[in-house]
Amino acid sequence: MLTIESTEVARLLKLIEYKRKEIERPKVPEFAKRILQEDILFLTKDILPIVQADTSILHYECGKCFYKALDLSVRFDVDSFIVYIPLKDEFSKVPKIGMFNGKDSVFQHGSIFLSIYEVENSSGEIVKPEIIPLNFLVL
């Protein structure tokens, strides 16, 4: 799994840790401890996942690549475009490639399909990939 924490996530984790240490101080009133516990739960369960999703370097870099391809595609008046973003430096023996067609859905198939029959791995071997249709996966 690829995870790279941003500075925002690191700061939020430090804040949560600070609040945890505050609870354990001997002279903290009971009502303050309750408020600190609520803050910790809120930051950990509600805020942290949002910050992680919106600030990770992986998401940022993928978005930057996608929007550059989109801008160039519009500029050169193409009908559609493909963006290839490798998530690992090395492929496995049978690489898994996720494909997503924004016009395709469970209820109505798009009129244009793309198939990948072979790819060249990092060793120079030609292999048949496993295609995973991301449109149809339920998150």
Determine the length of the chain.
Answer: 139
pLDDT of residue 111: 61
DSSP secondary structure letters along 53-121: HHH-HHHHHHHHHHHHHHHHHHHTT-S-------SSSS--SS-EEEE--TT--SSS--S-------EE-
What is the predicted pLDDT for the residue at 1? 41
Write the single-letter amino acid at 16.
I
Contact 101, 107 (CB under 8 A): no
How many alpha carbons lie under 13 Å from residue 1 in its C-beta half-sphere? 3
**Per-residue model confidence as pLDDT tens for the chain (139 residues):** 445 567 888 899 999 999 999 999 988 899 999 999 999 999 998 898 788 766 666 767 777 888 899 999 999 998 888 888 877 777 777 778 887 776 665 555 556 666 777 888 777 888 888 877 776 665 4
